[in-house]
Amino acid sequence: MIRRDPPGIATWLLQRFGAGRYSESMAGDLIEQYGQGRSRSWYWRQVVLAILIARAGAMHMRLWTAAKTMILRVVFEVPLVLGIVTAIDQSRRTHDLKEMLSPPFLATITLLLAVSSMALALLRNIRGSRRLHGRGSQLILLFALASLGAGTLTWAESTRRPTHRTPTCACQKVETPVAEAQP
């Protein structure tokens, strides 16, 4: 019996661009089928199909990973920004630190930080142990620093004694109506 060798380039392409850990077993199966009498064109079709299916699967996994990463980044960044905005708003409304650290405020900040921390942990799990880089993270950090700085300055300004007539706080004072004298 004459031994038939499959096309070498096709076998190399399958091993190089095939289904990763399955490419060797797939190449073995195709070589066995080719040795049993299949044609060269059949072998090439099978190799091309195997490579296309493997690449489509890899592309699908990349797209799925990218989608999960994007969703988790939004879940990480939105609560972080909301927490910063909430802290700034609370600091502008109150004049006393005890009043600022009310239970609803602390619960809101704790919840937002917990959601953001969980999303960050999941994001690091997806992307491996690499640190999160990119312009988005840098912009969030810059926004957080600017917001905290502005909030701190606003809060510090609102705690000063008024030296002029213009009020510096954003809170609204409720005036109680004076009872009119009855005739």
Q: Where are the domains of the chain?
A: 8-157
Torsion of CA 79, 84, 85, 87, to 10 degrees: 120
The count of other CB atoms within 10 Å of the CB of residue 6 is: 21
Question: Cα-flanking dihedrals φ and ψ of residue 22, to 5°?
Answer: -95, -5
Task: Give the model's pLDDT for residue 129.
Answer: 42
Average pLDDT over residues 63-75: 84
Q: 3-class DSSP state for residue 150?
A: helix
Greater confidence, 133 or 21?
21
Q: Which range, 97-106, 148-157, 169-178, has the best average confidence (pLDDT)?
A: 97-106
d(CA 50, CA 63): 20
Please say if the pLDDT value at position 19 is more than 60.
Answer: yes
Element (H, E) at 67: helix 40-93
d(CA 52, CA 105): 54
Q: Which sign, positive or negative, has the C-alpha torsion 32, 36, 37, 42?
A: negative
Which of 9-13, 140-144, 159-163 shows the lowest mean pLDDT across its residues? 159-163
- pLDDT tens-digit map of 23-40: 778 888 888 888 888 899
Question: Please, what's the b/e burial string for 147-169 (b: 16 or more CB within 10 A of its CB; e: otherwise)?
Answer: eeeebeebbeebeeeeeeeeeeb
Greater confidence, 146 or 164?
146
Q: State percent of the chain over pLDDT 70.
A: 69
Q: State the chain's mean pLDDT as an integer.
A: 76
| Residue (of 33, 155, 162) closest to 97 by Cα position | 155
Average pLDDT over residues 98-118: 86
Q: Which range, 47-51, 61-65, 69-73, has the best average confidence (pLDDT)?
A: 47-51
Greater confidence, 32 or 139?
32
Task: Give the model's pLDDT for residue 58.
Answer: 80
Confidence grade of residue 72 (pLDDT, cut at 50, 70, 90) = confident
Please say if the pLDDT value at position 157 is more than 80.
Answer: no
